[in-house]
Amino acid sequence: MSVPADGTTNPGYARTPRTTPTRYKDRATWEQEAIHAILDSTYLCHLGFVADGAPVVLPTIYARVGSRLYIHGSTGSRPLRGARGDQGLPVCVTVTLVDALVLTKSAFNHSINFRSVVAHGTAHQVTDPEELGIALDALVDQTVPGRSAEVRPANAKELAATAVIRLDLDEVSAKTREDGANDDPDDLDLPHWAGVIPVTSGFGTPVPAGSTTVPLPAHVRDLTR
Amino acid sequence: MSVPADGTTNPGYARTPRTTPTRYKDRATWEQEAIHAILDSTYLCHLGFVADGAPVVLPTIYARVGSRLYIHGSTGSRPLRGARGDQGLPVCVTVTLVDALVLTKSAFNHSINFRSVVAHGTAHQVTDPEELGIALDALVDQTVPGRSAEVRPANAKELAATAVIRLDLDEVSAKTREDGANDDPDDLDLPHWAGVIPVTSGFGTPVPAGSTTVPLPAHVRDLTR
């Protein structure tokens, strides 16, 4: 439990030295609800691990199920090798959403409005077929909600070929910036344009494959409208 | 120099074990032009480094200047501490663009069309004021091309407070998927929707700050139209 500045008590993740930022501390939160909301807003993460003493960062997809992340290992088998043993694989999973570019009258004060989550911990490979099935469905539904119920589920052979690692959320924090241009007082009268440029993201018109004989299903329509 | 399959010789980055994927090798390239094109398409990277033996991945902005990346260190001072010494800081810098969700009739074959670059190397903190000025301008222009010439440049005090690390591109590769739904032949007749959902990104209407007295400049208009 963390205690926010307003004195109320919200369920929160543990605060540790490495989830406590050294700068802009007011942008950080450990509150579960805030962290889960960011994690539920996208499906792409960057998975960091150490290989031969050096850092490796790979993009991949994830799904949140409660206080657990399932992370797809198909970007390469390297992370999975480490996660197979009992010791697991120390990882850092980072999720970032950019909301706006913030333009100021000085080069120095330019900024970005964003929401990000950084989770530290030890990941383990999912080997139980039942949990693998749940994880694979969750990965499909994290990208397209409702999709997993309307496709052919994975068979035993596919589950055996699916590489998923599990990270229990414990040492995790979020950072957000949601603000306008913060110019120095001395710069405010400069004849430059300052302001906020929203960054937008969405989906284009779905393009059916040649094999598709059914109309656009609700789960695709809901995602893209 | 790498030699593509068509026998021509294109300038390419060095191919090493860790820039050679273990899966989907046909999606990888080491060609400079392809890698630079991806790096020039966005401004957000995920910076990985090792702290106390554990991986850390932080989102930040970068700029490409020739075969060099400048990476903003303001997400926290931790990476910079390591990059200050002569030895530098081993890093992995990853840039990812998602182009489409690829929906198949089986859960297992779902995929994502993407472009990504992964760069490995040793980063060094930029300390020379002239280079810092170049780097800060490049960071501003990577997000909003042409912007740096139309703002107040950083002064000496701001440059001293600017944390930028430099990574020379050397051990770097790109991976891309640009394809439709690849269903198993046995699944093609299933009554599910398969196809590609384009992922779009762009900018909304710029919102001027209260201090802005000038019309929307061309560099903002060009970005957002």
- Left, alpha or beta for B88 (phi > 0: left; psi -120 to 50: alpha)? left
Alpha helix ranges (H) inside chain A: 32-39, 78-84, 129-143, 156-160, 218-224
Per-residue pLDDT averaged across A107-130, rounded? 95
Residues of B in contact with A181 (CB under 8 A): 209, 211
Task: Note whether A192 contacts B153, CB cutoff 8 Å.
Answer: no
Q: Which of A192, A193, A201 to mutate to test the interface with B (most CBs of B within 10 A)?
A: A193
Task: Note whether B107 contacts A198, CB cutoff 8 Å.
Answer: no
What number of CA atoms fall less than 13 Å from residue B31's CA on the CB side?
Answer: 15
Instruction: Flag whether pLDDT at B112 surpasses 50.
Output: yes
Q: Check if the beta carbon of residue B20 is closer than 8 Å to that of residue A78.
A: no
The pLDDT value given to residue B20: 83
Residues of B in contact with A204 (CB under 8 A): 197-200
The pLDDT value given to residue A209: 98
For chain A, the domains span 17-224
Name the more confident of A25 and B91.
B91
Dihedral sign, CA of B210, B212, B214, B216?
Answer: negative
Residues of B in contact with A118 (CB under 8 A): 56-58
Q: Of A15, A13, A57, A14, nearest to A39 (Cα)? A: A13
- Locate the DSSP E strands across chain B: 28-29, 44-51, 54-65, 68-72, 89-103, 111-125, 164-168, 171-177, 195-203, 207-208
Instruction: Flag whether pLDDT at A5 surpasses 90.
Output: no
- pLDDT band of residue A179 (cuts 50, 70, 90) is very high
Nearest CA in chain B to A56: B92
Task: Note whether B200 contacts A196, CB cutoff 8 Å.
Answer: no
- pLDDT band of residue B125 (cuts 50, 70, 90) is very high
Domain B17-98+111-178: which CATH number of 3.40.50.1400, 3.30.70.260, 2.30.110.10, 2.40.10.10:
2.30.110.10
Domain A17-224 -> CATH class: mainly beta
Q: What tens digit of pLDDT does each residue of A12-51 get?
A: 898 888 888 777 778 899 999 999 999 999 999 999 999 9
- pLDDT band of residue B78 (cuts 50, 70, 90) is low
The pLDDT value given to residue A26: 82
Task: Note whether A196 contacts B181, CB cutoff 8 Å.
Answer: no
Task: Note whether B206 contacts A224, CB cutoff 8 Å.
Answer: no
Q: Of B183, B198, B108, nearest to A162 (Cα)? A: B108
CA distance linking residue A42 with residue A26, whole number of Å: 24
CB nearest to B46's CB, from A94, A98, A215: A94
Per-residue pLDDT averaged across B107-111, rounded? 95
Residues of A in contact with B215 (CB under 8 A): 193
Burial of A166 (C-beta count, 10 Å sphere; 0-12/13-18/19+): buried
